[in-house]
Amino acid sequence: MSIENIYDINNTSDYKYSDIKKAVDKFKKEYSISFRERVQSVVELLSKDSRKNVINLSNNLLKFLDKYHSEVSRVNSMYEFDREILRKKGLNILCGVDEVGRGPLAGPIVSASVVLDLNVLEEKMILEIKDSKKLSKKKREELDLIIREKALSFNIELLDNKVIDERGIAWCNNEVLKRASEGLKVKPELVLSDGYPIKKGNIRNEYVIKGDNKSASIACASIIAKVYRDNIMKEYNETYPGYGFDSNVGYGAQKHIDSIKSQGPCKIHRKSFLTNILEK
């Protein structure tokens, strides 16, 4: 007998273990915080089954619930970080902005800015957001789509290797953050930047050390900037094979450095970053 909904289970002995497991797995995928009270009775029911594997499902479901609500609490603290800043300053809208690609030997520097609805209910928050470097490639790509869908506004800007060589990475780092935050369709009253103040910007700015682990808005900006740049470098790998851009995304991995020495730089390399490499 199949189970359409986990709440249909009234007597576990009426069902096969495989059917119960399928219902539990489906429930996990569809779970939201509003289900919390209703599921407790199901957990208790499963725990009273005579079969060990069904009892294990009950224990696993409890672990899932604990992990889920711990994550909700963590992410809510990131949303609250942003809300508290707005409350203290008497403002209504802020954006988070972050950059990726400051240190690579090739490719552009990219910045993203994000305006979130910070007053959403807990079940509508974007879970699992954090410093993009701490997420797997698959998870970043999943979150990138969610952020783009749920954000009130987002903007992505880049400066290529030619501008980096002409103006220097420090100028480009500031400029790309400035452009990303000022190009939003929903105009923020405050820009939270990760790690660096934005100089000569037209919007009030505060910088947050390790902001992508504290601020929901900065974390979301970090993720979409990283995904955007990684995809650019993946495309460049097709145009300029041999440098491993699909894996090193332009950073100075040893194989990348060896390729520069053996076949010389390509059109997207930052010549100003290669002086020591080419002289050796």
Known binding positions for a divalent metal cation: 98-99, 194
Which residues sit in the known binding site? Answer: 98-99, 194
Q: What share of the chain is helix, strand, coil (3-state, %, to 5)?
A: 60, 10, 30
Are 93 and 180 in contact by the 8 Å Cβ rule? The answer is no
Are 95 and 191 in contact by the 8 Å Cβ rule? The answer is yes
CA nearest neighbour of 222 among 149, 163, 150, 143: 143
Neighbours of 186 (CB within 10 A): 12
Q: What is the CA radius of gyration of the chain?
A: 24
- Rounded to whole angstroms, the Cα distance separating 144 from 230 reads 12
Give, in degrees to the nearest 5, the angle at Cα 243 between 240 and 244: 105
DSSP structure class, residue 209: T
Q: Is 132 exposed, middle or buried, given 0-12, 13-18 or 19+ CB atoms closer than 10 A?
A: buried
